């Protein structure tokens, strides 16, 4: 998830840098990548403080910025691989999604992580919302493991 957040922030910085040059225009871009290998560590764990995964699959990133510099960014990865948590490794299918929306009034970040493997199922969800004053109004992380 950390890799996803860093990718999102870098893409947003790049696009927002161009937003002032075309104040009335909307910029949108979608990037599809196939057979991509992703390795990530996220701060949710089942039997440990974090989980790490390496998986190969498809990655889609989408960004839109309008003339008011409001922005929407999402990234989705889905594939198969291994997940390690609590000193144990599991093979299976995973999906990692991240979304960020910003305007001059508020900002929201959402992320979900799902893994279904031989002997482990994980679901994680993150929601963060910030108002126009910069105050965090929602900060929620839920994780379930079975």
Position 46 scores a pLDDT of 83
81 vs 18, 58, 84, 117, CA distance in Å?
37, 12, 10, 9
CA angle, residues 18, 136, 43, in degrees to nearest 5:
85
Give me the sign of the Cα torsion angle 12, 17, 20, 21. Answer: negative
Which of the pair, 68 or 20, is modelled with greater confidence? 68
- The band of 47, judged by pLDDT with boundaries at 50, 70 and 90, is confident
Position 19 scores a pLDDT of 45
């Amino acid at each position: 998830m950390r890799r996803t957040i860093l990718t999102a922030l870098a893409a947003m910085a790049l696009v927002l840098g161009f937003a002032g040059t075309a104040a009335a225009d909307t910029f949108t871009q979608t990037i599809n990548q196939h057979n991509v290998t992703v390795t990530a560590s996220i701060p949710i764990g089942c039997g440990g403080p974090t989980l790490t995964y390496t998986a190969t699959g498809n990655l889609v990133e989408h960004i839109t910025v309008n003339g008011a510099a409001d922005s929407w960014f999402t990234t989705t990865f889905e594939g198969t691989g291994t997940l390690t948590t609590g000193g144990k490794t599991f093979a299976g299918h995973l999906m990692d999604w991240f979304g960020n929306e910003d305007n001059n009034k508020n900002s929201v970040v959402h992320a979900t992580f799902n893994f279904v493997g031989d002997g482990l199922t994980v679901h994680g969800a993150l929601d963060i919302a910030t108002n126009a004053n910069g105050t965090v109004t929602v900060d929620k992380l839920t994780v379930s493991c079975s």
